[in-house]
Amino acid sequence: MENFVVSARKYRPDRFDTVVGQEHVVQTLKNAIKNRHLAHAFLFCGPRGVGKTTSARLLAKTINCTQLSADFEACNECDSCRAFNANASFNIYELDAASNNSVDDIRALVDQVRYAPQGAQYKIYIIDEVHMLSAQAFNAFLKTLEEPPPYAKFILATTEKHKILPTILSRCQVFDFHRIKIDDAVKQLKTICEKENIQAEEEALHVIGKKSDGAMRDALSIFDRIVSFSGNKISYADVIANLNILDYDYYFRATNMLLSGNLAGSLLLFDEILSNGFEAQHFLQGFSEHIRNLMVCKHPDTLRLLEVAPNVAAKFSQQAQSCNSSWLLNALNMLNQTDFNYKLSKNQRLHVELALMKLCNLQRAIQLSTQQPMVDEKKKINLSSPPAEVTKEIPAPVSSQPTIENPTPTASVRPEPIIVAQPVANGKTQLERLREQVTKKQEEEMQTQQTGDEIVEVKGENKSFTEDEFKAIWDQYLYKLEHGGKSRITAFLRESPLKFTSPVQVEIELKSQLESEMMEEERMDLIPFMRKTLQNSDLELIFTINKDRIVHLSKVSKGDQLKRMVDKNPALGDFVQGLGLEIDY
């Protein structure tokens, strides 16, 4: 019986130009060989199965080749190449740091470095999974790694670069390997199929490339497994059956049902998926990716992000035409929130079914949202009212999962706000028109309002007023302040003496810098109110600080202090008496 060799070993690259998906590394290494600018230490970093160890072996083989080709590839014919291919080279040492990670293993390696190569130019040491070395082993390796003999080259490989000591990183030329793209993996699988006389559907190879998650070695292992399952004909159905992958046809059917509002069909389809042995969260994640692919198809510039077979890409493009962007965005948001809360749900099936119910009514909710005007044109908008009153007519944008309480919304039940823009005849949305009206109103108000003390322009002639009239309006404003939640400002303004220095000038005495700072903002409302109510735009309010009014409580007896407090707040006296205490002045 002939021994079987897995594809990952059988088709392991033996030349730089056969390395898959790492052109940036290959080109740099070949230029270094061409210009004889080889570093004494290299560090290859990247995910598993992307070609780090393979590239290290190719580099070791190529720099010792005595008959390099015109494109600086190993000849595979000289004694050094033949010895390497037969795993019998005395000048190339491979060490697995996962099982040889002690300081004694590194010291033994350092001792070997002292001996010159035999029949070759360089002596190369390849240390795989170098991050597994202990701290003591790294320290024992530092000096040799920094100043090795001219004939010694070190090639380190690791999947976890962050575990390497900075002192090691600084002594190496670092190469970062990329994940293998799906297209590159599919191309390599096609090449192997041709050599092995295997007929494979392109959709099946795309699924294998996607399932490998960027690792070429994993893709080849999956490929061998599928070949063992289906023989020399690899079909898409065989691949999804063997890899336990949910057929994309389920997602296309689910999308069509949700768009048409077929709730019963979507729930039965979900039950079929569960009956076939798939996890509900697996369906959620796959459906989210399906909606994402539909979003990608909505714009020609993002079509390159769609990593599927050409015939599947055509299906995505066709279905994307029947989905508007608002539906896709809201659906993706709902699915993401459902997936996020899946583990927390006690009834996970119902959790997913509830999401499907909402998605079934999402199209209808968007239609109602676009048909209902955001602002009633027949009603007059009071632009002077607070912003909260105006924005009640405006649906807020969806920042998280939108919730539709009624599975079948009617005209009398308004669904939750949907992310949708309403175009109008002049090309602007109702929200934009409303914002323009508010801005215009504010500009008109600013034309009659100036900074500083000159706030409001009163139309007509200024009217004179008496001190009693001023105090009456003053008390009216303080009453407004107190009921507006500004009792602190009201308290010290009631105690502030008013001094009329002229018929239109009133001086208000404050007793601290803190009170003056609190009035900086309040005076912007106070002065316009007094001017407008008294109908005199020449009125001036001057705030001064009289520190002599400050009463130091330490110099006042406790009885006087209590009397002052009760005078300011009579309720305090009732409180003290309610406790059964006596007030002794």
Residue-range definition of the domain harbouring residue 234 = 182-242
Structure tokens at 315: 């299906």
Q: Predicted confidence band at 450 (pLDDT cuts at 50, 70, 90)?
A: very low
Task: Kindly state whether residue 542 falls inside one of the protein's structural domains.
Answer: yes
Model pLDDT, residue 267: 92
Q: Are residues 35 and 102 in the same domain?
A: yes
For 339-344, what is the mean pLDDT?
89
Task: Kindly state whether residue 328 falls inside one of the protein's structural domains.
Answer: no
CATH number at residue 201: 1.10.8.60
Task: Kindly state whether residue 266 falls inside one of the protein's structural domains.
Answer: no
Model pLDDT, residue 582: 62
236 vs 219: CA distance, rounded Å: 15
Structure tokens at 357: 């119910």
Which of 206, 364, 355 shows the shortest CA–CA distance to 285? 355
Model pLDDT, residue 403: 42
- Owner of token pair 């997936």: 339
- Owner of token pair 């109702």: 430
For 512-518, what is the mean pLDDT?
79
CB neighbour list of residue 362: distance below 8 Å, 6 or more residues apart: 258, 327, 330, 331, 334, 404, 418
Model pLDDT, residue 547: 67
Q: Which helix (H) or strand (E) holds 239?
A: helix 236-242
192 vs 198: CA distance, rounded Å: 8
Which range (2-11, 15-24, 205-214, 457-466) has the least confidence? Answer: 457-466
For 219-226, what is the mean pLDDT?
90
Q: Predicted confidence band at 75 (pLDDT cuts at 50, 70, 90)?
A: confident
For 122-141, what is the mean pLDDT?
89
What 3-state class would DSSP assign to 292?
helix
506 vs 497: CA distance, rounded Å: 10
Using an 8 Å Cβ cutoff, are 539 and 500 in contact? no
pLDDT in tens, 247-297: 888 899 999 999 888 899 999 999 998 988 888 988 999 999 999 989 988
Which residue, of 193, 212, 242, is where some domain finishes? 242
Model pLDDT, residue 434: 64
Q: Mean pLDDT of all residues in the chain?
A: 79
CATH number at residue 517: 3.30.300
> Quick check: 42 pLDDT over 80?
yes
Model pLDDT, residue 155: 92
pTM over 0.75: no
Q: Are residues 211 and 118 in the same domain?
A: no
> Quick check: 553 pLDDT over 60?
no
Q: Are residues 15 and 160 in the same domain?
A: yes
Q: Are residues 161 and 65 in the same domain?
A: yes
Our CA angle for 227, 192, 86, nearest 5°, is 105
Q: Are residues 109 and 230 in the same domain?
A: no
Task: Kindly state whether residue 49 falls inside one of the protein's structural domains.
Answer: yes
Model pLDDT, residue 456: 41
Which residue, of 242, 262, 281, is where some domain finishes? 242
Model pLDDT, residue 442: 59
Model pLDDT, residue 502: 83
Q: What percent of the chain has pLDDT over 90?
A: 14
Model pLDDT, residue 410: 40
Task: Kindly state whether residue 454 falls inside one of the protein's structural domains.
Answer: no
Tell me, what amino acid is at 140?
A
Model pLDDT, residue 319: 87
Domain count of the fold of the chain: 3
Which range (132-146, 341-355, 425-439) has the least confidence? Answer: 425-439
Residue 296 has φ and ψ, to the nearest 5°, of: -60, -35
Model pLDDT, residue 9: 87
Using an 8 Å Cβ cutoff, are 146 and 39 in contact? no
Q: Are residues 186 and 172 in the same domain?
A: no
Model pLDDT, residue 504: 81
> Quick check: 18 pLDDT over 80?
yes
Model pLDDT, residue 526: 84
Taking CB atoms within 8 Å and a gap of at least 24, the contacts of 104-110 are 105/137, 106/133, 106/137, 106/140, 106/141, 107/140, 109/141, 110/140, 110/141, 110/144
Q: What percent of the chain has pLDDT over 70?
A: 79
Model pLDDT, residue 371: 61
- Owner of token pair 């002052």: 564
Which of 280-284, 322-326, 360-364, 575-579 is modeled with the greatest confidence?
280-284
Q: Are residues 60 and 199 in the same domain?
A: no
For 466-483, what is the mean pLDDT?
84
Which range (208-222, 285-299, 451-465) has the least confidence? Answer: 451-465
Which residue, of 125, 150, 176, is where some domain finishes? 176
For 505-516, what is the mean pLDDT?
82
Model pLDDT, residue 431: 59
Q: Are residues 79 and 164 in the same domain?
A: yes
Q: Predicted confidence band at 462 (pLDDT cuts at 50, 70, 90)?
A: confident
Choose between 464 and 379: higher pLDDT: 464
Model pLDDT, residue 440: 67
Using an 8 Å Cβ cutoff, are 113 and 148 in contact? yes
Tell me, what amino acid is at 12?
R
Conformation bin of residue 556: beta by default, left when phi > 0, alpha when psi is -120 to 50? beta
Q: Predicted confidence band at 175 (pLDDT cuts at 50, 70, 90)?
A: very high
> Quick check: 514 pLDDT over 60?
yes
Q: Are residues 58 and 15 in the same domain?
A: yes
Model pLDDT, residue 427: 53
Which of 137, 127, 144 shows the shortest CA–CA distance to 165? 137
Model pLDDT, residue 292: 92
Q: Are residues 163 and 60 in the same domain?
A: yes
Model pLDDT, residue 158: 92
Q: Are residues 198 and 233 in the same domain?
A: yes
* Pairing assessment for the beta strands 152-158 and 498-502 based on DSSP bridges: unpaired
CATH number at residue 138: 3.40.50.300
Which of 141-150, 515-524, 543-552 is modeled with the greatest confidence?
141-150
- Owner of token pair 């995910």: 47
Task: Kindly state whether residue 501 falls inside one of the protein's structural domains.
Answer: yes
Q: Which helix (H) or strand (E) holds 93?
A: strand 92-96
58 vs 26: CA distance, rounded Å: 10
Q: Predicted confidence band at 429 (pLDDT cuts at 50, 70, 90)?
A: low
> Quick check: 374 pLDDT over 60?
no
Task: Kindly state whether residue 238 falls inside one of the protein's structural domains.
Answer: yes
Question: Roughly how many angstroms between the first and final C-alpha of the chain, as a whole number?
Answer: 115
b vs e for 367-384, b when ≥16 Cβ sit within 10 Å of the residue's Cβ? ebbbeeebeeeeeebebe
Which of 105, 125, 101, 130 shows the shortest CA–CA distance to 113? 125
Task: Kindly state whether residue 435 falls inside one of the protein's structural domains.
Answer: no
Choose between 484 and 164: higher pLDDT: 164
Q: Are residues 90 and 20 in the same domain?
A: yes
For 132-145, what is the mean pLDDT?
87
